[in-house]
Amino acid sequence: MAPFSALGPRTVAGQVFVLQVLIVLLLVVTVGVESALQARRDSAAEARQRSLAVAETFANAPGLAEALRSPDPTALLQPRAEAARIGSGVDFVVVLDTDAVRYTHPMPDRIGKKFVGTTAPALAGESVTEEVTGTIGPLVQAVVPVRDDTGRIVGMVSAGIRTSRVSDSADEQLPVLVGSAAAALALATVGAGLVSRRLRRQTRGLGPAEMTRMYEHHDAVLHSVREGVLIVDREGRLLLANDEAERLLGLPADAEGRPVAELGLDPRTAGLLAAGRPVTDEVLAAGDRLLAVNLRPTDRHGGPPGLVATLRDTTELRALTGRAELARSRLELLYHAGMAVGTTLDVNRTAQELAEAAVPAFADHVTVDLAEPVLHGGEPAPEAPMRRAALSPAHPDGPFIPVGEPVPLVPGTPRARSLRSGHAVAETDLTEAFEAWRAYDPQRALRVHGHGVHALLAVPLRARGVVLGIATFWRAGRPEAFDEEDVALAEELVARAAVCIDNARRYTREHTMAITLQRSLLPGGLPEQDALEVARRYRPAQAGVGGDWFDVIPLPGARVALVVGDVVGHGLHAAATMGRLRTAVHTFSSLDLPPDELLGLMDELVNRIDQDQATDHGQAPITGATCLYAVYDPVARRCTLARAGHLPPAVVRPDGTVEFPDVPAGPPLGLVGLPFERAELDLPEGSKLVLYTDGLVEARGHDIDLGLDLLATALARPDRDPEQTCEDVLGALLSDRTTDDVALLVARTRVLPEDRVRVWEVPAEPTAVRRVRAEAARLLADWGLDELAFSTELILSELVTNAVRYGRPPIRVRLLHDRFLTCEVSDGSSTSPHLRYAASTDEGGRGLFLVAQCSDRWGTRYTDSGKVIWSEQRLP
């Protein structure tokens, strides 16, 4: 108690002490009350903010709008709402429809009832926060609208906290505030006593020696630091400058006490010191140095008006920063180039991406030249000619050789040296190079020189030990040449791009091989026939070759078979399988089978292919193929067709009516055991039969029904021939990049004139042979085919004789005058004769041998009522 004995109430120090205690007490009470009230206000504000934040977050959650449109929003949203309520600490998260009916609630019995609160602003697109008395008592709640992708309001979300929780939170802080106030009062009382004692004893502080020593220490520290320190008063006079400040600014010896404007400083530095505004790390030039200046006022804490400035020499730091920035920019260039180069498997596009990646960050112009074999997927030869593959920027009036043109490698130039050595060559003096270029192409050399090109960097494009070409970086607008770091950067950039170009080259080679294989397996041209006027189109997919195919096969009796098929998948396997199936169709069509029977044989073949693959590879892949086979008879004007999992054909009537006939849809090929059915269509002359694969009408952007509608619209033009119809269809349905192969056949029907067809009913008696021969001779004379009369009589004699002897009625003879003279003899028997060599002692067995000798082709086909033996003779 001794130290406080002088603070009695009768003394001035005691009265000051009592007054200070009363003032502090009043301030503590005031601050305590205000803090309590502020705590309550802050808690309420926090409740509003938290409610609004939770409601907005849940309203913007992905999938909320789709859930509101679902058949049972409560089942989808209740678990999510409860999880959000528990995770965020609010009392409820409720999802409402636009009529304010609850979809979710912490109390399940409240779901489906009307929401208590204001929802009109939310329905108008605004968020609202309010204090209401709801189903769980007085609370603070926020209501937020929910919008779908089009911006339309499809519901609302409300989140809230009970007012009692807010009050409880504020009350919990009250003991802390009271304790803090008591502690502050105690500390203030002790502090007031200490201040009074210090005031009473302030003249009993340090002595002169201690004060002098403290000043000397302060002065030593001030003048030994590595930062310059200046103190300037409010009138702009320099009050203090340490040694470092005098060195950095070159101040005179008598600088202290003089106005800053008279110290001969740089105008910008003098103006900055005179302005008196706070500054942080502003860089100023002082001779050959760069100074970082910081200014702060000295009167912030009751000091005298003025400012204090600190100066720091950052010249070396700036140089290091510049080199670091350059390194960062180069790494950024490599990063962006790695992302931009090689986005496709196209050689030219990859080369162009390399050129664009280096302009303008690294060079003003970039040219990329590749060996001509590389552009087509081949291996580059050592002396292969170069062709420009990329140029950036690609100005039409630029000085460089444009893209697509051959590029010579002039001996003695940096580019030629780079290719010969296989290493990068940087050239800063292009005088000799310009002389060499001028001797080869003087006009272009002058244009390049006049464009300001002064430096180049040539880097070979090398990948997997093979030089693919050369990339050349040119500088014209920027004065600096290429240094060693630029060479390293260019080599890294070109090395990455070379691998991408080589990958694209290899892909191009394989793709070209696959395309070549596929096109070799498809028909090169259409066979000659008079029954149909046919046009065809084939478009391979951009992603690779596929298994679509088509065919036009002439059949005996002036008939023609049309085939369209599709093997599932892409690549060489699909193309090879397509070739096998196309060959099989040709083979089976030579048997002159009905379409449904032919597809049955194809079905067994595909199944055997699958079994062979399972044996070879230890697995059982499914080939998967579809096919449509149609046979058109120009005499009967009828088309017989069957399909195996394929899309139905389109028929365009002569009047322009388009229909998709209901042809029975058989299963895809390979599912052995399921039958195929055929259909028959009567086609008037001039009708168009359109066969196609699914790549024509199926696309990612629409379903197959829309594709068929577009096809029908494109076909509904009766005035177009098959070639024009193909162009109309492809133009209407295909884009530039197709994802699947497309095969299209358009066939316009013709009719064999009635005067070119003759049919006789033949009685089953030997004497009928003579009458048939006589009538055939007269008919050939009318047709002007007298040269074929003898051979035709011989063929008919043998065939009719066989039908009479070994066949069954009815027996018919039909002669057709088309591209061939066709003789057909039909009977009701299904027994087919066989060609054989008769011995010299045999009395018979030479009939079919004679038929074969007199005919170009002959054969047998089976019908529903028997068989037909036919023979074709080439017209003279």
Dihedral angle, C-alpha 101, 107, 108, 109, nearest 10 °? -80
Question: Does the pLDDT value for residue 204 go beyond 60?
Answer: no
Q: Which residues, at least 6 apart from 718, have a Cβ–Cβ distance to it below 8 Å?
A: 652, 653, 654, 655, 656
Going by pLDDT thresholds of 50, 70 and 90, the confidence category of residue 216 is low
pLDDT digits (tens, 9 = 90+) for 267-294: 777 777 777 778 777 777 766 677 778 8
- Specify the 3-state DSSP secondary structure of 404: coil
- Specify the 3-state DSSP secondary structure of 441: coil
DSSP class of 706: H
Distance in angstroms (rounded) separating the CA atoms of residues 276 and 278? 7
pLDDT digits (tens, 9 = 90+) for 691-724: 999 888 887 666 788 889 999 999 998 889 999 9
Q: How many helices (H) and strands (E) does the chain have?
A: 22, 31
Cα distances (angstroms) measured from residue 309 to each of 232, 276, 306, 315: 8, 10, 10, 18
Cβ distance 457 to 482 under 8 Å? yes
Q: Which residues, at least 6 apart from 755, have a Cβ–Cβ distance to it below 8 Å?
A: none
Q: What is the pLDDT of residue 836?
A: 54
Cβ distance 623 to 670 under 8 Å? yes
Question: Does the pLDDT value for residue 337 go beyond 70?
Answer: yes
Going by pLDDT thresholds of 50, 70 and 90, the confidence category of residue 3 is very low
Q: Which residues, at least 6 apart from 367, have a Cβ–Cβ distance to it below 8 Å?
A: 355, 388, 390, 391, 400, 401, 407, 471, 472, 474
DSSP class of 107: S
pLDDT digits (tens, 9 = 90+) for 217-260: 666 666 666 677 878 887 778 777 777 777 777 778 777 878 87
Going by pLDDT thresholds of 50, 70 and 90, the confidence category of residue 1 is very low
Highest mean pLDDT: which range of 67-81, 109-123, 751-765: 751-765
Distance in angstroms (rounded) separating the CA atoms of residues 796 and 808? 17
Distance in angstroms (rounded) separating the CA atoms of residues 687 and 651? 7
What are the phi and psi torsion angles at 788 (to 5°)?
Answer: -100, 5
pLDDT digits (tens, 9 = 90+) for 598-628: 999 998 888 887 777 655 554 445 557 899 9
Cβ distance 722 to 748 under 8 Å? yes
Cα 398–404–405 angle (5° rounding)? Answer: 75
pLDDT digits (tens, 9 = 90+) for 141-167: 888 898 888 888 888 988 888 876 665
Give the sign of the dihedral formed by CA 492, CA 494, CA 498, CA 501. positive
Q: What is the pLDDT of residue 516?
A: 72
Average pLDDT over residues 117-132: 84
Token reading at 283? 């860089």
Question: Shortest CA distance to 747 belongs to which of 563, 522, 548, 557?
Answer: 563
Question: Shortest CA distance to 54 belongs to which of 102, 89, 100, 104?
Answer: 89
Cα distances (angstroms) measured from residue 789 to each of 403, 498, 796, 823: 68, 73, 10, 12
Cα distances (angstroms) measured from residue 12 to each of 15, 20, 190, 195, 200: 5, 12, 18, 14, 11
Distance in angstroms (rounded) separating the CA atoms of residues 158 and 139? 12
Please tell me which residue, 325 or 8, carries the higher pLDDT value.
325
Cα 345–347–350 angle (5° rounding)? Answer: 75
DSSP assignment of 517-581 equals: HHHHHS-SSPPP-SSEEEEEEEE-BTTB-EEEEEEEEE-STT-EEEEEEEEEEESHHHHHHHHHH
Q: What is the pLDDT of residue 551?
A: 92
Q: Where would I find the beta strands (DSSP E) of 45-181?
A: 92-96, 128-134, 137-147, 153-162
Distance in angstroms (rounded) separating the CA atoms of residues 83 and 74? 14
Highest mean pLDDT: which range of 27-31, 164-168, 670-674: 670-674
Distance in angstroms (rounded) separating the CA atoms of residues 684 and 639? 10
Q: Which residues, at least 6 apart from 23, have a Cβ–Cβ distance to it below 8 Å?
A: none
Cβ distance 424 to 491 under 8 Å? yes
pLDDT digits (tens, 9 = 90+) for 375-431: 888 888 877 889 999 998 877 778 898 998 999 888 888 888 898 888 999 988 888
Classify residue 675 as left (phi > 0), alpha (psi -120 to 50) or beta. Answer: beta
User: How many C-beta atoms lie closer than 10 Å to residue 617's C-beta?
Assistant: 9
Question: Does the pLDDT value for residue 507 go beyond 70?
Answer: yes
Token reading at 811? 């027996």
Q: What is the pLDDT of residue 254?
A: 77
The mean pLDDT value of the chain amounts to 80
Distance in angstroms (rounded) separating the CA atoms of residues 37 and 41? 6
Share of the chain above pLDDT 90, in %: 18
Token reading at 850? 């004679």
Determine the residue type at 317.
L
Q: What is the pLDDT of residue 16?
A: 56
Q: State how beta strands 228-233 and 757-762 pair.
A: unpaired
Share of the chain above pLDDT 70, in %: 81
pLDDT digits (tens, 9 = 90+) for 295-320: 788 776 666 778 888 777 766 655 55
Q: What is the pLDDT of residue 6?
A: 44
Q: Which of 131-140, 204-213, 298-307, 453-462 comes out lowest in average pLDDT?
A: 204-213
Cα of 618 vs its chain's centroid, Å = 36
Distance in angstroms (rounded) separating the CA atoms of residues 403 and 399? 12
Q: What is the pLDDT of residue 546?
A: 74
Residue 861 CB-half CA count within 13 A:
19
pLDDT digits (tens, 9 = 90+) for 785-837: 888 888 888 888 888 888 888 888 898 999 999 888 999 888 888 776 655 55
Q: What is the pLDDT of residue 638?
A: 94
Average pLDDT over residues 11-38: 65
